[in-house]
Amino acid sequence: MIHPPLPAQTQNSAPTIILSEPQLGENIGTAARAMANFGLKELRLVNPRDTWPNEAAEKASANAIDVVKNATLFENLEDAIADLHHIYATTARPREMVKPVLSPESAATLIHEKQKHNAKTGILFGREKSGLTNTEISFCDAIIIAPVNPNCASLNLAQAVLLMGYEWLKQAETNSLGRETQYDGPAQEGTCYKHASPATKQELTALFTHLKSELELSGFLRTVEKTPQMMRNIRNMIIRMQPTDQDVRTMRGIIASLANRAYKAPERK
Amino acid sequence: MIHPPLPAQTQNSAPTIILSEPQLGENIGTAARAMANFGLKELRLVNPRDTWPNEAAEKASANAIDVVKNATLFENLEDAIADLHHIYATTARPREMVKPVLSPESAATLIHEKQKHNAKTGILFGREKSGLTNTEISFCDAIIIAPVNPNCASLNLAQAVLLMGYEWLKQAETNSLGRETQYDGPAQEGTCYKHASPATKQELTALFTHLKSELELSGFLRTVEKTPQMMRNIRNMIIRMQPTDQDVRTMRGIIASLANRAYKAPERK
């Protein structure tokens, strides 16, 4: 009664779990186990510290060995998220950036909303010791922070994955039972993608690369040590826009046009 | 902002956690840690298998050592729950008995309800291997079952405690702030505007005018009849970003820089 088979619809639309530079194989295994507990299947690893395939990970995963065996490896975050549309970053504290902050529950609601529109989502988790860098977070659409006791705030990797999986499955079951979620959605959620789909992360990364190279040529990024911070700000700004693929084409057209004028000007002379 | 000190009211009204015949000290320690993560303090042990005090438990509890040190020992369940008013039993599956079955979320709601009437509550967890006996469950007011993947249903002791603590604290924070939507709220509402304020409409209008004039010069808006639609798209895009005043300055810097390169290029020749 409580544990019916997972609804078919949830089985291929669950969020992808992405671990950035996980340190211990054992933690990858227990995170995979927590995923399996709540029906999450797709695991991606960015640059794990230890070798892969990893025996400790397989051992710790217990009967979630399939999640570990099917995990895919990436050298950097951009590649790991290239085909996804929305990425949420789990952090222990808010960062100094303008980025929506969600609870696990509201993030799960948002993920289910995105899934309804066939968007692919991912949840990003950082290193065991130090979490995610601000640069990594700047690639994400929102931050997820779990409510915890401020005097004992640290959750381990598997526990953080567990909470997200739990909230996701809870709502998957609610949805599949035909009960409406009591979510009075944000403007964001109601965003109407008429005749357009959200840009993939690959399209966004290409946009950032294009803009960066033009800004280097134009002298906007003349102070080398300030470039990473400036690019983080720009990524945060543009991702907050939740751009469609058409928006990305428009922005690239604008950049090319503004820059092109420079390029063509000498010929006109 | 996200992690205020726990409201005083919650500090002595949190549910008591009762572990019946826990087998490994280490699991008691990690359960204690999960309690501390969510502000639960009172731990009772019924007949633990290993000796008590237990070094493995203390070690595994990390900075939740106080919870372990203050844990109280009982020889049987009846004594352990004597002073409490309502007990909820966590189980992996429904039992053959007529007993209300609650989700962690609805159990947490009920516990908060009971607390409001000064009733003392407890949540009971069974042995790592075999869970609770039907006899033990018969002492309890209701059963709690977490929604999990039926193909991978087993949560370890600390994870089961974690989910209950999480649901309890989530509702404690909601209640104490009198805001029902703190964690259910729209993404936008949670946006953290640290050291920045949303741009005024005047600043935005100036940005649009600036961009439009540069795009006319660069040839991007070369088809006059398409200009209004194109500018609507651009405004929609940028407003969706909910830009701060700083974001507007950054965008204007980018536009000026990209355009400037054109302007300066001939001089460099």
pLDDT, tens digit (0-9, with 9 covering 90-100), for B237-264: 887 787 888 899 999 999 999 987 543 4
Say whether B258 and A109 touch across the interface (CB within 8 A): no
What percent of chain A is modeled with pLDDT above 90? 67
Q: Are B170 and B39 in contact (CB under 8 A)?
A: no
Q: Please list the alpha-helical segments (H only) found in A191-244.
A: 201-218, 227-240
Q: Which residue has the higher pLDDT, A84 or A190?
A: A84
User: Average pLDDT in the B89-110 region?
Assistant: 86
Largest CA distance in chain A: 78
* Residue owning tokens 């991606």: A44
Taking the CA of residue A133 and the nearest CA in chain B, the distance in Å comes to 18
Residue type (1 letter), B113: E
What is the rounded CA–CA span in Å between residue B111 and residue B264?
70
Q: What pLDDT sits at residue A253?
A: 92
Long-range contacts made by residues B104-107, C-beta under 8 angstroms, separation at least 24?
Answer: B104/B144, B104/B146, B104/B163, B104/B164, B104/B166, B104/B167, B105/A170, B105/B167, B107/B142, B107/B144, B107/B164, B107/B167
* Residue owning tokens 């204690």: B32
Q: How would residue A118 be classed by pLDDT, with cut points 50, 70 and 90?
A: confident
- Nearest to residue B21, comparing CAs of B64, B80, B65? B80
Average pLDDT, chain A: 84
Contact list in B for residue A94 (CB cut-off 8 A) is: 1-2, 192, 194
Q: Which residue of A has its CA nearest to B230?
A: A250
Q: How would residue B266 be classed by pLDDT, with cut points 50, 70 and 90?
A: very low
Phi, psi of B102 (to 5 degrees): -115, 155
Q: Which residue of A has its CA nearest to B264?
A: A262
Nearest-by-Cβ selection for A261 from B94, B182, B217: B217
Q: Is the per-residue pLDDT at B155 higher than 80?
A: yes
List Cα–Cα distances, A183 to A110, A112, A129, A191, in angstroms.
9, 11, 34, 15
Q: Are A142 and A99 in contact (CB under 8 A)?
A: yes
User: Average pLDDT in the A144-166 region?
Assistant: 93
Q: Is the per-residue pLDDT at A90 higher than 70?
A: yes
Q: Two tokens at B130?
A: 């075999």
Q: Which of A13-27, B1-15, B42-56, B151-165 has the lowest mean pLDDT?
A: B1-15
Q: Which residues are CB-contacts of B13 (< 8 A; sequence separation ≥ 6)?
A: B115
Q: What pLDDT sits at residue B240?
A: 78
Digit-coded pLDDT (tens) for A229-259: 999 999 988 988 889 898 999 999 999 999 8
Q: What pLDDT sits at residue A44?
A: 98
What percent of chain A is modeled with pLDDT above 70? 84
Question: Within 10 A of B128 (CB to CB), how many other CB atoms are there?
Answer: 16
Q: Which residue has the higher pLDDT, A29 or A194?
A: A29
| DSSP, res A183 | -
Q: Which residue has the higher pLDDT, B185 or B58?
A: B58
Nearest-by-Cβ selection for B2 from A1, A37, A94: A94
Taking the CA of residue A100 and the nearest CA in chain B, the distance in Å comes to 4
Q: Which residue has the higher pLDDT, B147 or B241?
A: B147
The pTM score is 0.80
Q: Are A176 and A56 in contact (CB under 8 A)?
A: no
Q: Two tokens at A125?
A: 């988790």
Q: Is the per-residue pLDDT at A265 higher than 60?
A: no
- Strand-pairing partners, residue B125, are B19
Q: Which residue has the higher pLDDT, B239 or B53?
A: B53
- Nearest to residue A39, comparing CAs of A168, A128, A155, A144? A168
Say whether B147 and A173 touch across the interface (CB within 8 A): yes
What is the rounded CA–CA span in Å between residue B157 and residue B127?
8
Contact list in B for residue A242 (CB cut-off 8 A) is: 240
What is the rounded CA–CA span in Å between residue B198 and residue B210?
19
Count of CB contacts below 8 A, A vs B? 249
Q: What pLDDT sits at residue B263?
A: 38
Q: What pLDDT sits at residue A175?
A: 64
Say whether B1 and A94 touch across the interface (CB within 8 A): yes
Nearest-by-Cβ selection for B186 from A187, A254, A265: A187
| DSSP, res A263 | H
Digit-coded pLDDT (tens) for B195-206: 567 788 788 889
Q: Which residue has the higher pLDDT, B5 or A238?
A: A238
Parallel, antiparallel, or unpaired for β B101-102 and B16-20? unpaired
Query: What structural domains and CATH numbers belong to chain A?
Result: 8-176 (3.40.1280.10), 193-268 (1.10.8.590)
Q: What pLDDT sits at residue B97?
A: 64
Question: Within 10 A of B83 (CB to CB), how many other CB atoms are there?
Answer: 9
What percent of chain B is modeled with pLDDT above 90? 53
